[in-house]
């Protein structure tokens, strides 16, 4: 469980630590795929906001929470991610439970953003390349990230077109370990042993301690 927490926090540090570059870091030609453009653009927007609003975020935690929901996580397809994590348990849940799960998972992501911000350092990491690995239903934006000690880490963003034909993020993985895969085992285990309502209660309690304090 501690390993999962490290992975998820590290994912958001990657989001926040990458260096802005004046030109694209795409390595497979000049015709940059739209998903790569989205990831690069979102990274630059995040860094600009973090740099220009650092004093505000330090002094007003609520503004950081608003930033997390409306800017940092604006490209997530929550319903698709929820379906991937819960599988048959998503189909077994009623509409109220599905909506509550989406809300609490968004709050979980917000909680990771807030916790990761405590470690934010503009010199933490630097993206050195992006690439695109398409599949029949979307694909992965693959990036290579360089840490201060020189270690290179693979960080990939799974993108898929939603019903409106807009590219959305549905998963992130670091060195092959995905956020969805990590949370899937945790969430399904709780549902099997204690039920959907207990999972929602557990998520709400954890999120509330960080976001509602």
Beta carbons of 144 and 127 less than 8 angstroms apart: yes
The 3-class secondary structure across 111-128, one letter per residue, is: HHHHHHHCCCCCCCCEEE
pLDDT at 149 (0 to 100): 74
Query: Rounded to an integer, what distance in angstroms lies between the CA atom of residue 50 and that of residue 36?
Result: 21
Average pLDDT estimate for 100-109: 94
pLDDT band at 1 (very low <50, low <70, confident <90, very high): very low
As beta bridge partners, residue 155 has 143, 174
Q: Tokens for 205?
A: 């309690």
Query: Rounded to an integer, what distance in angstroms lies between the CA atom of residue 32 and that of residue 176?
Result: 24
Q: Which residue has the higher pLDDT, 3 or 135?
A: 135
> Number of folded domains in the chain?
1
Q: Which residue has the tokens 């990458």?
A: 18
Given a cut of 70, whether residue 22 has pLDDT beyond it is no
pTM of the complete model = 0.84
CB proximity list for 156: less than 8 A, separation 6 or greater: 133, 140, 141, 142, 143, 172, 173
Domain that holds residue 16: 2-211
pLDDT at 58 (0 to 100): 87
Q: Residue 30 sits in a domain of what CATH number? A: 3.10.450.710
Given a cut of 90, whether residue 153 has pLDDT beyond it is no
Distance between terminal CA atoms of the chain? 24
Query: Rounded to an integer, what distance in angstroms lies between the CA atom of residue 203 and that of residue 83?
Result: 17
Cα dist from 33 to 11, 25, 42, 90, 155, whole Å: 22, 12, 14, 32, 17
Given a cut of 70, whether residue 11 has pLDDT beyond it is no
The 10s digit of each residue's pLDDT in 109-120 is 888 888 877 766
Long-range CB pairs of 150-157, under 8 A, 24+ apart, other chains included: 152/128, 153/14, 153/125, 155/11, 155/14, 157/35, 157/39
Cα dist from 188 to 76, 98, 131, 208, whole Å: 21, 14, 32, 21
The 10s digit of each residue's pLDDT in 189-198 is 999 999 999 9
pLDDT at 183 (0 to 100): 93
CB proximity list for 36: less than 8 A, separation 6 or greater: 24, 26, 130, 131, 132, 141
Most confident of 27-36, 39-48, 122-131: 27-36
């Amino acid at each position: 469980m501690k390993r999962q927490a490290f992975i998820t926090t590290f994912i958001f540090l990657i989001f926040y630590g990458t260096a802005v570059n004046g030109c694209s870091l795409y390595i497979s030609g000049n015709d940059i795929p739209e998903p790569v453009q989205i990831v690069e653009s979102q990274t630059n927007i995040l860094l600009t906001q973090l740099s220009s609003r650092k004093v505000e975020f330090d002094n007003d935690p609520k503004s950081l929470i608003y930033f997390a929901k409306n800017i940092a996580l604006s490209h997530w397809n929550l319903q698709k991610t929820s379906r991937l994590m819960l599988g048959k348990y998503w189909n077994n849940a009623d509409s109220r439970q599905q909506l509550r799960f989406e809300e609490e998972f968004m709050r979980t992501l917000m909680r990771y953003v807030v916790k990761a911000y405590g470690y934010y350092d503009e010199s933490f990491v630097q993206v050195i390349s992006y690439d695109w690995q398409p599949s029949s239903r979307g694909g992965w934006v693959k990036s290579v990230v360089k840490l201060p000690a020189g270690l290179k880490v693979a960080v990939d963003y799974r993108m898929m077109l939603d019903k409106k034909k807009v590219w959305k993020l549905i998963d992130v993985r670091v060195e092959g370990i995905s956020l969805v895969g990590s949370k899937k085992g945790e969430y399904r285990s709780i549902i099997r042993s204690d039920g959907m309502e207990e999972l929602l209660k557990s998520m709400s309690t954890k999120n509330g301690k960080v976001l509602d304090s």
